[in-house]
């Protein structure tokens, strides 16, 4: 008898690394991903934080976006559209109230997500600049656990 498909629905606290493909430079990334099932399809929303490289040095950045995906075997394959929001005050979290912000590049991503036997989520993400934007292609790997309600 075939195993039942894994259920990805839930809110996950994740952390991992983003690596620029051309330079090999890496940066930490962490935050929350929400996956919701609607029939055979999934939708995703996410809010992540990282230190984003700029000409003036690394800047606190908030990465927000939405995506959609479909199950293929034990994997959830998806695409996403993302906006990077940069703090304009060095060393201050980009989410801080009333803080001046600068909108960074929009990026598009393809992802492959898997759940292990204990329910931990691992996502491999390939990101590149959206049309008309400037962004160095990256690969990100995040892993995390479902947040209990």
Residues 6+ apart with CB under 8 A from 8: 35, 37, 42, 71, 76, 113, 115, 121
Q: What is the distance between the alpha carbons of residues 25 and 116, in angstroms, rounded to a whole number?
A: 28
Domain spans of the chain, in order of start? 10-146
- Tokens coding 63: 């990465």
Give the CATH class of 10-146: mainly beta
CB 127 within 8 A of CB 82: yes
Q: What is the pTM of this model?
A: 0.86
Q: What is the distance between the alpha carbons of residues 3 and 98, in angstroms, rounded to a whole number?
A: 50
Q: What digits encode the pLDDT tens for the residues 87-133?
A: 765 555 545 554 555 778 899 999 999 999 898 999 999 999 999 99
């Amino acid at each position: 008898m075939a195993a039942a498909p894994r259920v990805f629905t839930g809110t996950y606290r994740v952390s991992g690394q983003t690596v620029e493909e051309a330079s090999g430079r890496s940066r930490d990334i962490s935050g929350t991903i929400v996956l919701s099932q609607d029939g055979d399809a999934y939708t995703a929303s996410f809010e992540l934080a990282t230190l984003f490289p700029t000409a003036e040095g690394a800047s606190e950045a908030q990465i927000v976006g939405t995506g959609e995906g479909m199950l293929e075997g034990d994997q959830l394959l998806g695409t996403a559209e993302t906006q990077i929001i940069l703090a304009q005050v060095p060393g201050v979290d980009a989410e801080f109230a009333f803080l001046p912000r600068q909108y960074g590049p929009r990026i598009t991503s393809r992802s492959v997500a898997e759940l292990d036997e204990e329910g931990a989520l691992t996502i491999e993400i390939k990101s590149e600049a959206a049309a008309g934007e400037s962004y160095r292609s990256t690969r990100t790997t995040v892993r995390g656990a479902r947040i209990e309600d």
